[in-house]
């Protein structure tokens, strides 16, 4: 017997799929209906048995390499060449950096070029995952304190909505083993990652560059390094940099 | 260009970032559908290659449902090729049925742990699939609906029927177990 509960409602309840209002409605019903309570217990027992009793088969360790090897474009890339550069950032940024290093080989910035590569890798990584922002706020007064205690420098957090670059949020990231602040600004449907960290241990090459279709603009000021990365056009990114610098270092 | 494989370095990196972390989910689903290590591995590899070729259609966000859709398509076509191994299962014919009453499910209080995988083996592929996606992979109804390309209502009825079927298989197995024990 299912009372007059719609079919599937109890299952959805037991599976935690109901919104709060419906959940409370079902709970109110359950308190007066032993039959439905029993049904929910059964559903939960079944769910729990599957969750605990069935194995989740893990991919064999060699599968990732096999997959990578089978992809035409990725095939020539050798991961081992850069492994010692980025022990923590993982193979993805290592891969990006290797490829990008190839492009940059003619430049003479040496070590510091890595920073641009990493900034680009980090930018694409942040877009791919849902972790673009650890603190989502359009309010500079929320974003700024969020960084306090997490890093030992204060990235200038300014709101640029009036310039068409609303502040979206911020997060911590890592470039070349250093923890950096990443401020995220929006531009229509695109994002700008602005990486900020102390310049004491070296600075990236200053100026505007294009890497793999992404625009990069970096500078150093007041003891801090800044790298802005985005898929928007360089002229727009330059506009962003100008607006940011005007406000952050008046 | 839109439907083609990534043609830039950033595209390749994006592909691997978006989809490679889901290889355990891909393998787990394939392993449950194919019931064989090597077949599962082949299917996953094939699925990644297809995903790579179709990456232009990936609209960002969570890569898992997008990848799992491809994985299951590869697995099903493989299973159809090997039909002699697996008779076509008319689970879908029941698809029109309404969601079973919740009270129909009377989950056995004490299930012998080793019987559960056995009972899963006996289920039609689609029943096994939805139980794995929900129970093992922890997908929500909505995500399952995307992976299987069916409405959420169908997810609910298929899940309910799969659970009932599993319960029946379990009951049969434990009866057999009892009679063997005597």
Domain end: B87, B110, B130, which one? Answer: B87
CA nearest to B130, candidates B101, B165, B100, B155: B155
Residues of B in contact with A49 (CB under 8 A): 107, 111, 116
Are A169 and A99 part of one and the same domain?
yes
Quote the domain boundaries for residue A127.
80-248
For residue A115, being part of any structural domain is answered with yes
**Is residue A47 less than 8 Å (CB to CB) from chain B?**
yes
Domain end: B67, B87, B107, which one? Answer: B87
Give residue A241's pLDDT.
Answer: 95
Q: Cβ contact (<8 Å) for B111 and A53?
A: yes
Domain count along chain B:
2
| Arithmetic mean of pLDDT, B50-71 | 90
- Could you report the predicted ipTM of this complex, rounded to two decimals? 0.85
Are B31 and B64 part of one and the same domain?
yes
Low-confidence ranges of chain A (pLDDT < 50): 1-2, 74-112, 128-131
Question: How close B164 gets to chain A, by Cα (Å)?
Answer: 10
Domain count along chain A:
2
First-to-last alpha carbon distance for chain A, in angstroms, is 73
Are A40 and A121 part of one and the same domain?
no
Are B3 and B33 part of one and the same domain?
yes
Q: Which of A148-157, B34-43, B86-95 has the lowest mean pLDDT?
A: B86-95
Are B110 and B68 part of one and the same domain?
no
Give residue A113's pLDDT.
Answer: 53
Q: Determine the Cα–Cα distance for residues A111 and B14; give it in Å rounded to an integer.
A: 24
Are A132 and A47 part of one and the same domain?
no
Residues of A in contact with B120 (CB under 8 A): 54
- pLDDT tens for B107-132 read 776 766 778 989 999 999 999 999 99
- Looking up tokens 């989910």 gives B25
- pLDDT tens for B161-180 read 999 999 999 988 888 776 76
Are A24 and A109 part of one and the same domain?
no
**Tokens at residue A25, please?**
């409605």
Are B82 and B129 part of one and the same domain?
no
- Using only the alpha carbons of chain A, give its radius of gyration: 25
Are A89 and A43 part of one and the same domain?
no
Give residue B159's pLDDT.
Answer: 94
Task: Tell me the CATH number at B47.
Answer: 1.10.1740
The count of residues in chain A is 250
Give residue A98's pLDDT.
Answer: 37
Domain end: B31, B65, B87, which one? Answer: B87
For residue A201, being part of any structural domain is answered with yes
**Tokens at residue B31, please?**
């392993």
Angle between helix B37-53 and A63-70 (nearest 10):
40
Q: Determine the Cα–Cα distance for residues A219 and A249; give it in Å rounded to an integer.
A: 12
Q: For chain A, positions 112-141, list CB contacts with chain B under 8 A.
A: 120-121, 124-125, 127-130
Are B136 and B100 part of one and the same domain?
yes
Per-residue burial over A53-87, b if 16 or more Cβ lie within 10 Å, else e, is bbebbebeeebbeebbeebebbeebeeeebeebbe
Q: Cβ contact (<8 Å) for A7 and B98?
A: yes
Are A111 and A212 part of one and the same domain?
yes
Are B20 and B78 part of one and the same domain?
yes
- pLDDT tens for B10-19 read 667 788 888 9
Nearest to A43 among B31, B45, B105 (CB): B105
- What is the pTM assigned to this prediction? 0.57
Q: Cβ contact (<8 Å) for A57 and B159?
A: no
Question: How close A88 gets to chain B, by Cα (Å)?
Answer: 15
**Tokens at residue B38, please?**
């090597």
Task: Tell me the CATH number at A242.
Answer: 3.30.200.100
Are A96 and A32 part of one and the same domain?
no
Are B1 and B25 part of one and the same domain?
yes
Q: Determine the Cα–Cα distance for residues B102 and A36; give it in Å rounded to an integer.
A: 8
Quote the domain boundaries for residue B109.
95-182
Are A115 and A159 part of one and the same domain?
yes
Are A28 and A120 part of one and the same domain?
no
């Amino acid at each position: 017997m299912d009372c007059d509960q719609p079919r599937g409602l109890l299952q959805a309840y037991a599976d935690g799929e109901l919104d709060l209002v419906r959940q409370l409605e079902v709970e109110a019903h359950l308190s007066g209906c032993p039959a439905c309570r029993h049904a929910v217990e059964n559903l939960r027992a079944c769910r729990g048995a599957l969750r605990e009793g069935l194995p989740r088969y893990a991919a064999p360790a060699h599968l990732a390499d096999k997959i990578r090897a089978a992809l035409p474009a990725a095939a020539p890339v050798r991961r081992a060449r850069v492994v010692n550069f980025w022990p923590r950032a993982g193979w993805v940024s290592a891969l990006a950096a290797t490829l990008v290093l190839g492009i940059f080989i003619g430049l003479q910035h040496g070590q510091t070029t890595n920073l641009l590569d990493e900034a680009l890798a980090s930018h694409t990584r942040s877009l791919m995952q849902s972790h673009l922002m650890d603190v989502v706020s359009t309010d500079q007064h929320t974003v700024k304190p969020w960084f306090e205690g997490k890093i030992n420098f204060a990235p200038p957090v300014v709101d640029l909505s009036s310039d068409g670059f609303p502040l979206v949020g911020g997060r911590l990231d890592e470039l070349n083993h250093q923890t950096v602040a990443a401020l995220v600004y929006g531009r229509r449907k695109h994002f700008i990652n602005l990486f900020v960290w102390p310049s004491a241990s070296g600075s990236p090459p200053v100026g505007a560059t294009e890497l793999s279709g992404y625009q990069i603009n970096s500078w150093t000021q007041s003891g801090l390094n800044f790298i802005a990365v985005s898929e928007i056009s360089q002229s727009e990114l330059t506009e962003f940099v100008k607006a940011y610098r005007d406000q952050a270092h008046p | 260009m839109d439907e083609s494989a990534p043609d830039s370095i950033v595209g390749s990196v994006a592909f691997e970032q978006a989809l490679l972390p889901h290889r355990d989910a891909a393998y787990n689903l394939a392993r449950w559908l194919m019931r064989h290590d090597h077949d599962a591995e082949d299917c996953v590899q094939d699925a990644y290659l297809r995903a790579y070729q179709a990456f232009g259609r990936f609209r960002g966000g969570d890569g898992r449902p997008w990848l799992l859709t491809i994985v299951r398509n590869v697995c099903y076509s493989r299973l159809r090729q090997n039909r002699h191994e697996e008779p076509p299962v008319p689970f879908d014919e029941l698809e029109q049925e309404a969601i079973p009453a919740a009270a129909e499910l009377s989950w056995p209080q004490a299930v012998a742990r080793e019987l559960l995988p056995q009972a899963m083996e006996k289920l039609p592929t689609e029943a096994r699939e939805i139980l794995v996606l929900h129970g093992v992979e922890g997908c929500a109804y909505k995500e399952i609906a995307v992976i299987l390309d069916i409405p959420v209502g169908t997810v609910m009825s298929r899940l309910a029927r799969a659970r009932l079927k599993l319960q029946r298989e379990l009951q049969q197995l434990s009866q057999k177990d009892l009679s063997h024990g005597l």
